[in-house]
Amino acid sequence: MTKENKIDIIQKHTDIIISTITKHLPTTEEEWELVGFVNKKDDIYTFGNDSKILGRLFEVITFDALEKSANELGFQLGMSEKQTVYPDYYFFDSIGNKIGIDVKTTYRRSEKAKFGFTGGSFTSFMRNGTKNIVGHYDDYKAHYILGVVYVREEKPTHGRVKLDKRTGIIPAYKDVEVFVQEKFRICGDKKGSGNTDNIGTIKASNIQPFVYGAGPFSYLGEDVFNHYWTNHPRYTDSKEVRDSLFTDLSSYISWIRKTDSKQASILQDKYDQYLVDYRKQTELGNIDY
């Protein structure tokens, strides 16, 4: 079995937004390779491995692709004026429809280590519509994550370098991989961390599950994703409240069964199918969750 046909259980999701943005993204290592900040005296100040700086740099690189994609698709491109306001970028049309696009970055700790992203807060705009979001949550017809994965360079160039010596600079990162996928399709049923109210994505040791949109909500649907995370217990909730709700999809389905046994059975069947396909896919060896 070749590598190309190993991924045949969980089907790849794509659409016009994904294909258009992907088409315009840089395709070579050199195009992703930024080496530092330049002043008017032709000095390059190299940057270290600070993940916040690198994340912002990747946003800058992707801006051109998003602008070209918006024009091709008949949208305009907007961007959040505040770092804490969702989304990083958005497409919008003349009647107020929006498509949210968040740029997420992470790095590989080792070749086989699993990585993931955060899918944003589940206690702000998802619950009241207007908190920490451009416009209203209902204005958004879809939500996408443009994800960037990289490897930290162990011995990058540090300090100031003259512009004419730029080819000798060793960048702070390498081996960049990128994907575009609908947010709900790559999010999981666990929080991003225990002491925050951020949605966690699936975790994998390679980028393919993110490219394919191979998360459980691809089977359960976006409506279930929204219902799950708008009812998920918050970090600040009391133990009594947390105990009355759920912490994963199995306990969520049990929670649904208390009021709607038919819907719970439908969800259980879909989730069971996901778990079966998940196991088959990992056995093929190309996707390692």
Catalytic residues: 88, 102, 104
Reply yes or no: is the peptide bond before residue 87 cis, omega within 30 of 0: yes
Cα 103 to Cα 25: distance, rounded to the nearest angstrom: 13
In whole angstroms, what is the distance from residue 176 CA to residue 149 CA? 6
Distance CA 127, CA 195 (A): 19
State how far the Cα of 146 lies from the Cα of 182, in Å rounded to an integer: 9
Q: For the chain, what percentages of helix, strand and coil (3-state, to nearest 5) are there?
A: 40, 25, 40
Residue with token string 């998003």: 66
d(C-alpha 29, C-alpha 245), whole Å: 46
Helix (H, G, I), strand (E, B) or coil at 39: coil
Pairing mode of beta strands 140-152, 160-162: unpaired
Strands laid side by side in the 118-121 sheet: 118-121, 198-201, 187-191
CA distances from 169 to 12, 84, 148, 164, 215 (A): 38, 33, 22, 11, 39
